[in-house]
């Protein structure tokens, strides 16, 4: 029985062709939005937290304000320098400080020119250890830089095939018109910054880019990781005092890993909320669309309903046929929406990953998400169809045939 009603309903939907599709469109936009954004949202979260998981819990960073997560040193603020480094080093609770430079430089290989991040490796074994351990750096080929190295570089995994001819250990590359020997290739890390960086000894980098007394990032390892927040406060205070700034006027920022992660999570959660809000609204609109279509359908098919009643259809039969129709609109909308949503998510991740050159933005396919999106759409369809279906079933057979 239900199977036959199902075929009747499918026939009716087909009969109204374009209008059925437009109604389905109304619902699948909402579903596609939810599915794509939530799939990407999960991927985004993994990507972003992945970036931060490489920061160790006992290290905090001081950098020039406004530079965010991008390459520092590009904004015009009072830059960090040797003096600040000593200041931070002397704050109570700070164990070791490491000054770091991260810049963009022209890189030439095989007569091709690219721009890449270049970061320095200090000439102090304790500082080197801190950097290597905190970033989990290991080589895939060759070796890491030592304090005594000069004119040598280690490159990130993504740089290897950035040029049309792959770079190998032992090859020479030209950075800012100076030759460097590649002595190591890093293992791919969870952070795209690591995969895209060229590491070179600090003196080389300073000479290459004419850097005198500048520091982009100060990494401070604390003595007790439980006190890291307090130490961060003290550093902030000291720097403010030194620079004669009031609270809120800082042109630098001190970040602890937990803080950074927290901020990012909050932002991601807000984005998720907005996405869900928009999706809810568009699903509501889609539901109203289904309701509208079904009401129109009841009006248009009043006569047909009368005929069905005249040949023996009971109210419950009519009710069922209409509910199956509206449910189908929702279900098909849900399935197409989920498909398109996943497609969009994969598309966006493909574009993002291609642009950044790493698999940073993965799509997390969640079957519970897909199933519940489709079921939800089905439920929206059925609920939207309920009132029109009741109206259809309650039509008086005589009046319906007369119409």
Partner 1 sequence: MKKQNLQNVIIKLENVGKYYYMGEEGENVVKALDGISIDVEKGDFVAIMGPSGSGKSTGMNLVGSLDLPSFGEIYLDNENISHLTESELAQVRGKKIGFIFQQFNLISNLTAKENVMLPMLFQETPKEQREEEAENLLGLVDLKDRMDHYPNQLSGGQQQRVAIARALANNPEVVLADEPTGNLDSSTGERVLDFLEKLHKQGTTIVMVTHDPNIAKNHAKTIYSIKDGKIEGVSKNINGKWVKHSVN
What is residue 350's DSSP assignment? H
Of 137 and 305, the one with the shorter C-beta distance to partner 1 is 305
Distance of closest approach, residue 14 Cβ to partner 1, in angstroms: 8
What lies within 8 Å, CB to CB, of 307 at 6+ separation is 400, 401
Q: Where are the alpha helices (DSSP H) in 244-366?
A: 257-300, 302-310, 315-356
Pairing of strands 178-186, 152-155: parallel
Distance between CA atoms of residues 200 and 121, nearest Å: 6
Q: Which is nearer to partner 1, 306 or 327 (CB)?
A: 306
Shortest Å, Cβ 385 to partner 1? 19
The DSSP result for 48-83, as a single string, is HHHHHHTS-TTEEEEEETT-TTS-SS-S-S--B-HH
Contact 78, 87 (CB under 8 A): no
Q: How far is the CB of 305 from partner 1 (least distance, A)?
A: 10
Pairing of strands 59-64, 152-155: unpaired
Pairing status of strand 197-201 against strand 112-121: parallel
Question: Facing residues of 103 across strands?
Answer: 118
Nearer to partner 1, 14 or 177 (CB): 14
Q: Toward partner 1, which CB reaches closer, 5 or 387?
A: 5
DSSP string, 268-287: HHHHHHHHHHHHHHHHHHHH
- CA pair distance 187, 140, nearest whole angstrom: 5
With H, G, I as helix, E, B as strand and everything else as coil, classify residue 109.
strand
Query: Given the complex with partner 1, which of 312 and 368 has the nearer CB atom?
Result: 312
Please identify, using beta-carbon distances, which residue of 260 and 332 lies nearer to partner 1.
332
Shortest spacing between CB 336 and partner 1, in angstroms:
23
Residue 395 contacts residue 300 (beta carbons within 8 Å): no
Would you say 326 and 334 are in contact if contact means Cβ atoms under 8 Å apart? no
Q: How far is the CB of 390 from partner 1 (least distance, A)?
A: 13
In the complex, minimum distance from the CB of residue 392 to partner 1, in angstroms, rounded to a whole number:
14
Q: Provide the binding-site residues for partner 1, judged by CB under 8 A.
A: 1, 4, 11-12, 14-15, 303-304, 306-317, 396-398, 401
151/283 Cα distance (integer angstroms): 60
- Give the nearest distance from C-beta 2 to partner 1 in angstroms: 11
Q: How far is the CB of 284 from partner 1 (least distance, A)?
A: 30
Positive or negative CA dihedral for 8, 11, 16, 19? positive
Q: How far is the CB of 321 from partner 1 (least distance, A)?
A: 10
Is the CB of 92 or the CB of 303 nearer to partner 1?
A: 303
Nearer to partner 1, 174 or 397 (CB): 397
| Closer residue to partner 1 in complex, CB, 23/202 | 23
Nearer to partner 1, 251 or 317 (CB): 317
Token readout for 193 is 């910054």
How distant, in Å, are the alpha carbons of 35, 228, 236 from that of 224?
43, 7, 18
Q: Determine contact, residues 182/171, Cβ cutoff 8 Å.
A: yes
The answer to whether 220 touches 231, Cβ cutoff 8 Å, is yes
At closest approach, how far in Å is the CB of 314 from partner 1? 4
The 3-state DSSP class for residue 357 equals: coil
């Amino acid at each position: 029985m239900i199977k036959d009603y199902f075929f009747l309903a499918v026939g009716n939907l087909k009969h109204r062709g374009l209008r059925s599709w437009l109604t389905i469109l109304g619902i699948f936009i909402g579903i596609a939005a939810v599915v794509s954004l939530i799939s990407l949202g999960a991927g985004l979260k993994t990507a972003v937290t992945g970036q931060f998981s490489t920061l160790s819990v006992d290290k905090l960073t001081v950098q020039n304000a406004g530079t965010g997560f991008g390459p520092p040193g590009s904004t015009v603020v009072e830059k960090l320098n040797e003096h600040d480094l000593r200041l931070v080093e002397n704050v109570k609770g700070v164990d070791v400080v490491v000054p770091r430079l991260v810049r963009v430089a022209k890189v030439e290989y095989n007569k091709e020119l690219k721009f890449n991040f270049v970061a320095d490796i200090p000439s102090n074994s304790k500082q080197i250890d801190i950097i290597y351990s905190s970033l989990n750096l290991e080589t895939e080929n060759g070796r890491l830089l030592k304090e005594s190295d000069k004119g040598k570089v280690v490159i990130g995994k993504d740089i290897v095939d950035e040029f049309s001819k792959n770079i190998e250990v032992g090859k020479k590359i030209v950075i800012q018109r100076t030759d460097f020997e590649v002595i190591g290739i890093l293992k791919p890390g969870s952070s795209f910054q690591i995969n895209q960086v060229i590491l070179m000894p600090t003196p080389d980098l300073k000479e290459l880019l004419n850097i005198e007394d500048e520091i982009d990032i100060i990494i401070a390892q604390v003595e007790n990781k439980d006190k890291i927040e307090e130490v961060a406060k003290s550093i902030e205070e000291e720097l403010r005092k030194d620079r004669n700034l009031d609270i809120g006027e800082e042109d630098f920022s001190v970040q602890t890993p937990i803080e950074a992660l927290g901020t990012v999570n909050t932002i991601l959660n807000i984005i998720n909320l907005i996405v869900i809000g928009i999706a809810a609204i568009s699903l509501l609109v889609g539901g109203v669309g289904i309701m509208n279509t079904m009401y129109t359908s009841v009006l248009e098919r009043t006569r047909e309903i009368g005929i069905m009643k005249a040949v023996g259809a009971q109210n419950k039969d009519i009710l069922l046929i209409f509910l199956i129709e509206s449910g189908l609109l929702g279900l098909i909308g849900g399935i197409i929406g989920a498909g398109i949503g996943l497609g969009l998510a994969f598309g966006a991740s493909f574009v993002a990953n291609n642009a950044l050159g790493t698999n940073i933005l993965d799509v997390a396919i969640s079957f519970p998400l897909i199933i519940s999106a489709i079921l939800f759409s089905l439920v929206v369809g059925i609920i939207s169809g309920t009132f029109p279906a009741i109206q259809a079933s309650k039509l008086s057979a005589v009046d319906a045939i007369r119409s």
